[in-house]
Amino acid sequence: MNIDLNNGLLAEARFVPSPNYDDRPEEEGINLVVIHGISLPPGEFGGNWIDDFFSNQLDPDAHEYFREIGDIQVSSHLLIRRDGEIVQYVPFNKRAWHAGQSSFDGHERCNDFSIGIELEGTDDIPYEYVQYEKLAQVITELKQAYPDISNERIVGHSDIAPGRKTDPGPAFDWQHLFQQMV
C-alpha cells in the first residue's frame, strides 16, 4: 500500500470525494486512528448507500431510515467494505467529519488529529477476515506516514465518544487486528 503525502490519498483506494471535510488546525498533527462500523440501511451490506451518504447524495425515499439521516453531513477518510474493497472519501491531510463530540487522552475534538476508518459492519455481526487484513495493512502504512500514531492510539469510536457511540462494537476482534499488524 502507498500513501501519497502530497495529496493525502491511498493509491489502492477507490476515491469518492466527500464535500464533508475541512482543513485541520495548523497546530494539530495526525496521531490517532478511530475505527468505526457502518451499514446502510442498518444491518444490510453492499450497494452504494455508504458512498451516497458520505457524498450527500443519499435518496431519502430509498429507505425509511434514510429519511432520518439524509440531512446529516458526515464523512470518513476510508471505508473497508466486507469484500475488502477500500474506498477513500477525504484525503488524510484534511479533517473528515467522523468523530463528532469526542475526547481522547484529555484532548477534545478528535476530528482535528485523527483518521477515521469505517468498516462495513455492525456491532454484533462478525467482521470479515479480509477486512482485518486490509485494515492492518492500512494502519501499518498510516503509522509509517504519520509516526505519532502508535498501537495505543488506535481506538474505536466508542472509546472516544462513550455513551454516545458503540461502534465498532463487541463483534470487532481487537486482538485479531493487532496480531495482523505484527
Catalytic residue status for 118: yes
Grid coordinates representing 64 are: 425509511
Residues in Cβ contact with 167 at an 8 Å cutoff, skipping those fewer than 6 apart:
35, 36, 37, 38, 123, 156, 157, 158
Residue for cell digits 501499518? 140
By three-state DSSP, how is residue 80 classified?
strand
The catalytic residue among 27, 64, 68, 118 is 118
Q: What is the number of other CB atoms lying within 10 angstroms of the CB of residue 23?
A: 8
User: For residue 134, what is the enclosing H or E element?
Assistant: helix 129-145
- Asked if 88 contacts 118 with a C-beta cutoff of 8 angstroms, the reply is no
Q: Return the active site residues.
A: 118
